[in-house]
Amino acid sequence: MNILQALFFPPEQPGGVSSMVPYILDRFQTPNWEMELFSLPKRIRGKGQEDVRFMTFDWTQYEASPTVQKYMQTYKDYVWWCKLRLSKSYDLIHAHHPIAGLVMKQLYPDTPVIMTLHSSFERELILNGKIEAGGLEHRFLTSLYRELEECVDQMMTVSKSFLDYVSPYVSHPERIGVLPNGFDEKRFKPIAHDNAVPQLIVVCRLVPAKGLDVLLHACAELKRRGHAYVLHIIGDGPIREELEHLAQELCIYEETIFYGYMLHPEEFMPFSDIFVLPSRAEAFGSVFAEAALCWLALVGTNVGGIAEQIDDGVNGLLVPPDDPIALSNALERVMTDGSFRYELARAAWAKAKQTYSLSRIVNELKCMYVSYRPEQHD
């Protein structure tokens, strides 16, 4: 069976898709499977010129927005790049971004296209202060869900909470499947250790939606309470300088290390004790599963896919978003009770191994893929 995995970002980019899709290929390398990746290189900008028409709405009613103009130019660039680079046919296409899904169905109308929604671009833009809820851009981006529903053969998402989010924008939410991201457990090598000073770690893009300002305020509170710690921040983004200034203002810069982007943070995470990420929204939160597979205790916010991964008090702690005191209380509890921290970490590891194993996800994908062909494959 010849399958194309259609990404938007190149596979080396950080994020949930890159945590899973490139590793899927290794599990499908048998005589019965042929699979390849496709994505739009960053250098491709402004090449596409073809007009775009959608089936369910007229996108030009939103073209006054520079954000919409940029999105649609990227769509045109994706069409241009596909026509330049793709020449053979496929038995199935699995897309991992709305642009990829819509373009692939446009260019391969007779090929089954599965579309997995991994995140909400519009919600991220709102939380990052780039667009307004209910505004022109918001209405455009949410209209794409209905367009996808009309065009592709199967829609999937990565968590029940994200399905709930998408449901108002489609006609038949009951037809959307839920399949979480899977992780290759061989990538993660937990290390038994006992740090005298608790090591906190966060891995994410440095954008407002991730709530790192809340984390820094919580860490400042921990310092006021007399707790020693080191906070490791792995990732880069537009608010890095702002966060560094905030750490200085809160007098915790000496306790905080900004590493910037790291290609394989899973090689660094096992040396820490606690993974913390106070996101304001999260469709799935792949990094929590990755941290769990590194034997870290988890502290996150009670939002989206995070709340589906963490059973509060069992395999991690959940706190409300935008609440630095609640976050500092949770961190304090895990930092000061080594036995509790150990039990949380072991329970998180066990759940991640059972629920988010790449082997299990691959088996489910195989069943889904072969359902689009009459003959069966191993």
Dump pLDDT digits (tens) for 55-79. Answer: 999 999 999 999 999 999 999 999 9
Torsion of CA 291, 297, 302, 304, to 10 degrees: 20
Alpha-carbon distance 96 to 16, whole Å?
A: 10
Q: To the nearest whole number, what is the mean pLDDT of the chain?
A: 93
Confidence of residue 376 (pLDDT cuts 50, 70, 90): very low
pLDDT score of 116 more than 90: yes
- Residues 170-202 pLDDT 10s: 999 999 999 998 888 888 888 877 799 999 999
Q: For residue 25, what pLDDT is reported?
A: 84
pLDDT score of 54 more than 80: yes
Alpha-carbon distance 62 to 137, whole Å?
A: 7
- Residues 242-297 pLDDT 10s: 999 999 999 999 999 999 998 888 889 999 999 999 999 999 999 999 999 999 99
Q: For residue 357, what pLDDT is reported?
A: 87
> For the whole model, what pTM was predicted?
0.89
- Residues 118-127 pLDDT 10s: 999 999 999 9
Torsion of CA 331, 270, 216, 207, to 10 degrees: -130
The 3-state DSSP class for residue 86 equals coil
Provide mean pLDDT across the span 9-13: 67
Q: For residue 18, what pLDDT is reported?
A: 62
The DSSP line for 127-149 is HTTSS-TTSHHHHHHHHHHHHHH
- Residues 303-338 pLDDT 10s: 999 999 999 999 999 999 999 999 999 999 999 999
pLDDT score of 378 more than 60: no
Provide mean pLDDT across the span 154-162: 96
Alpha-carbon distance 147 to 118, whole Å?
A: 17
Confidence of residue 81 (pLDDT cuts 50, 70, 90): very high
186 Cβ partners below 8 Å, 6+ apart? none
- Residues 217-234 pLDDT 10s: 999 999 999 999 999 999
Q: For residue 154, what pLDDT is reported?
A: 97
- What is the percentage of the chain residues whose pLDDT exceeds 70? 96
Distances (CA, A) of 297 to 5, 212, 219, 344: 33, 18, 17, 5
Alpha-carbon distance 59 to 72, whole Å?
A: 9
Distances (CA, A) of 231 to 98, 253, 258: 35, 9, 9
Q: For residue 303, what pLDDT is reported?
A: 96
- Residues 13-39 pLDDT 10s: 555 676 678 788 888 877 889 999 999
Is residue 210 a contact partner of residue 277, using CB atoms and an 8 Å limit? yes
Confidence of residue 11 (pLDDT cuts 50, 70, 90): low
Q: For residue 19, what pLDDT is reported?
A: 61
Give the range among 30-34, 90-94, 196-200, 372-376 with minimum mean pLDDT: 372-376
- How many Cα atoms are found within 13 Å in the side-chain-facing hemisphere of 89? 5
pLDDT score of 46 more than 90: yes
Q: For residue 229, what pLDDT is reported?
A: 98
Q: For residue 153, what pLDDT is reported?
A: 97
Alpha-carbon distance 8 to 190, whole Å?
A: 31
Distances (CA, A) of 257 to 169, 297, 331: 41, 20, 18
